[in-house]
Amino acid sequence: MNFFESQDKARHNTTQLLGLFALAISFTIAGLYLAVAITIAQGSTTIGLWHPEVFFWVTVGTLLLVGSGSLWKYLALKQGGGAQVALSLGGSEVFAEMATDEQLVFVNVVEEMAIASGVPVPRIFVLADEDGINAFAAGFTTNDAAVAVTQGCLEQLDRDELQGVIAHEFSHILNGDMNLNLKLIGILQGILLIHLAGRLLMRMSRPRYRSRNSKGNPVLVLGFAMFAVGGIGWLCSRAIKAAVSRQREFLADASAVQFTRNPRGIASALQKIAGYSQGSSVLAPQAEAASHLFFGSAVASFGGRAFASHPPLNERIRRLGGVVQFRDSTPQEVLAGAASVGASRLASGFVGSTSTQRPPEPANESDARMAVEDIAERIGIADEKGIAQVRSLLQKLPPGLRSQLHSLAGAKGCVYALLLNDDWDVRDRQLSKLKETEPQEVMTAVVEVGALLRDLDPRLCLPVMDLAVPALRRMEKDNCQLFANNVHQLVMADGEVSLSEFALMAVLRSRLTVALGGELNPAVKYESVSDVLGDCLTLVAALAKAGHESEGDRVYAFQAGVDRLVRSGDVTVSEQVRDGDRLPLFTTQSLDAGLENLRRLAPRGKQAVVEACARTVLLDGRVTVEESELLRAFVLSLDCPLPPFLNVR
């Protein structure tokens, strides 16, 4: 499955999850009603078991209790996303400027994987009190994701093994598993609440002294019924988690090999868990509720494989090509056959190449179409070539730049420096505006970071800005809004917004969705491209303008993109648009509005939009810096992670 198919599958899984939830609630209502009806019928031969009014109130009470519990948990998670889960499990956030050597390796691996796969660098946590080898990724979208590892993971794994584990977690980020997993926590909390409420009623109604009056205590009976039925619901929740999670773990293992082309890394990590005294256990009280998030089994499996949230270790290792051996086995002995494991097909073409040479023009329309398909297939995919390229980039950054980007002042200074105008009069106005709202520390960073960025390859502006995003996310909402206003003023200092400036602002706005109070993971509103055709045409027109100098070439590229949209499905375009000799008019405001609407398009529709945009850009076989940045900005704004480094001229 490609990224868009995975997103559709995640939507389908969510529907299935809601169906299982409804079934579990139905059984819970039936069990509670039966317990109440039997209590009422005790001691009477004339009273039956069917009482409509009792059934009504049992149903209402159960729905209120379960619904309020699930809603409370969901809203609590919604406030903090993946960070909320990490903190509830005893995690501490890791900042690069204060990290230990072990933590810094972890930070570097996460940054490399994030930039190579086109997602924002997630917040990074360590569960310092956990000696087991484990990790998880959590969040509703890539923009509020967090990645966490246990202290045992840092201490017991080498860099290749850690990279395999993190690649596994990034698969969950890219395949849409995180959103489903957090919904699962919220939904199952409501079922568990029945069990907890029953325990509370039993304690409250327990008599202090034994007496005849304590027999048949209806509150005690109700509490026991809720406790017992809730316990069955808890077992159902374990079964639901097992059904949802196990197959996704196999997929994530395979994706980790695809990402890194190194089956030894993840297989050896699994082998170490198998032979380690602490295994992958997590002792935090909240580990049970979050057990399906983890890389390995975090809690003991009650009821055997039927209720296990993860497949057996030996099966996971076998599928990766390894042989299960336990203590004192070296990775070479354990994974003798792992080197022969074939990774999944990786997309080739214009993305992921380190060459700066101009790519050859497509020999015919079929070749150009293949390049477009390569772009669409690369959405949500990281590979070892891209990871190595990002690692090389980070190593070649000017000394001191990376440490600057890890501080808030340096991160803000980086964004401001990227927006400074080449015209010195305009630049003076920009700096004067900044001084009105920013402290001296930030102004100094603008100068220092600007000097470091002076000779930076223009293709690297967006990847470097991605390194600044984690620090920018630390801002409170009001400060983040002030920062966004400053960015807007810098852009408007010369009275116009270039497409490159628009691209940078669009990416920044997407990355800071949470900090700016924007809507995460908006619900699908449009199923077909035809519902948002005007917005699609606006994006295609902007890309056609960005990459071509003559009006004739722009119109030709625009028409190629429109043809791609028409081929995608039920889209009808007027002859005036398809055969016209001028581009449709658009503004940066219409681009903003169009991107916001297209975020609510179904995944398959987004794929058609991405392919149309890619067709417009790749028609002539060459990609300019401006085209590359604008294409990535559009795709990222649609919540589709596109890796960097398209070939440019």
- The burial of 285, by beta-carbon neighbours within 10 Å (0-12 exposed, 13-18 middle, 19 or more buried), is given as exposed
**Mean pLDDT across the stretch 374-391?**
78
Rg of the chain in Å (alpha carbons): 28
Region 197-209 average pLDDT: 71
The residue type at 161 = E
Catalytic residue among 169, 249, 384, 448: 169
pLDDT tens-digit series, residues 12-68: 777 777 777 788 788 888 888 888 888 777 656 666 778 888 899 989 988 888 888
What the block records as the tokens of 621 is: 């076989």
Q: Is the pLDDT of residue 423 over 70?
A: yes
**DSSP for residue 290:** T
Residues 78-91, mean pLDDT to the nearest whole number: 87
In terms of Cα–Cα distance, which of 175, 244, 256, 260 is closest to 2?
Answer: 175
Phi, psi values for residue 268, rounded to 5°:
-70, -35
Q: Cα dist. 509→180, 287, 485, 506, 554 in Å?
A: 25, 34, 11, 5, 28
**Cα 47 off chain centre by:** 56
One-letter amino acid for residue 329 of the chain: S
**Range of lowest pLDDT (60-64, 288-292, 294-298, 561-565):** 288-292
Reply yes or no on whether the pLDDT at 582 is more than 70. Answer: yes
CA distance 599 to 610: 12
Taking residues 271-287, report their average pLDDT.
Answer: 91
pLDDT interval class at 486 (50, 70, 90): very high
Query: If you average pLDDT over each of 201-205, 215-219, 284-288, 482-486, which comes out highest?
Result: 482-486
DSSP-derived pairing of the beta strands 135-138 and 146-150: antiparallel
Which amino acid, one-letter code, is at 164?
A: G
Position with higher pLDDT, 189 vs 208? 189
Distances in Å between the Cα of 234 and the Cα atoms of 28, 187, 228, 535 are 10, 12, 10, 47
In whole angstroms, give the CA distance from residue 351 to residue 371.
9
- Taking only the tens place, the pLDDT of each residue in 624-640 is 888 888 999 999 999 88
Q: What is the mean pLDDT of the chain?
A: 81
Q: What confidence score (pLDDT) does residue 445 get?
A: 94
> Is the model more confident about 434 or about 39?
434
Confidence of residue 612 (pLDDT cuts 50, 70, 90): very high
Measure Cα distances from 76 to 127, 147, 173, 294 in Å: 20, 18, 20, 20
Which region, left, alpha or beta, applies to residue 76 given φ > 0 means left and ψ of -120 to 50 means alpha? alpha
Task: Record the tokens describing residue 510, joined without a space.
Answer: 């997407």
Helix (H) or strand (E) holding 564: helix 551-567
pLDDT on residue 358? 33
Beta bridge partners of 138: 146
Task: Report how far residue 247's alpha carbon sits from residue 77's, in angstroms, rounded to the nearest whole number.
Answer: 25
Task: Report the C-alpha gap between 566 and 569 in whole angstroms.
Answer: 6
Mean pLDDT, residues 493-522 taken together: 87
Q: Is 327 exposed, middle or buried (0-12, 13-18, 19+ CB in 10 A)?
A: exposed
The answer, yes or no, to whether residue 489 has pLDDT greater than 90, is yes
pLDDT, one tens digit per residue, over 296-353 is 988 876 655 667 778 888 888 888 875 444 333 343 443 343 333 333 222 222 222 2
Which candidate, 464, 480, 414, 470, places its Cα nearest to that of 442? Answer: 414
Specify the pLDDT at position 304.
57
Looking only at the bridges linking them, the beta strands covering 146-150 and 123-127 are parallel
Mean local confidence (pLDDT), 352-374: 42
Q: How far is CA 169 from CA 17, 122, 177, 272, in A?
A: 21, 11, 10, 18
Read out DSSP for 252-271? HHHHHHHHHS-HHHHHHHHH
pLDDT of residue 285: 87
Q: What is the pLDDT of residue 396?
A: 79
Query: Which residue would you say has higher pLDDT here, 27 or 139?
Result: 139
179 closest CA partner among 77, 110, 89, 91: 77
| pLDDT value at residue 79 | 76
pLDDT band with cut points at 50, 70 and 90 for residue 420 = very high
pLDDT in tens, 140-175: 888 889 999 999 999 999 999 999 999 999 988 888
* The pLDDT of residue 538 is above 70: yes
How far apart are the C-alpha atoms of 309 and 294, rounded to whole Å?
A: 9
Greater confidence, 386 or 283?
283
HSE at residue 627, side-chain half, CA atoms within 13 A, is 27
Longest dimension (CA), the chain: 97
The predicted model gives 238-242 an average pLDDT of 74
CA dihedral 173, 174, 180, 181 (to 10 degrees): -30
pLDDT of 47 reads 67
Residue 443: what pLDDT? 95
- Over pLDDT 70: what percentage of the chain? 85
DSSP letter, residue 119:
S
For 3-14, what is the mean pLDDT? 73
pLDDT of residue 72: 85
CA atoms within 13 A on the CB side of 637: 24
- Catalytic (active site) residue 169: yes
User: Residue 417 pLDDT more than 90?
Assistant: yes
Least confident of 86-100, 103-117, 289-303, 407-421: 289-303
pLDDT at 361: 40
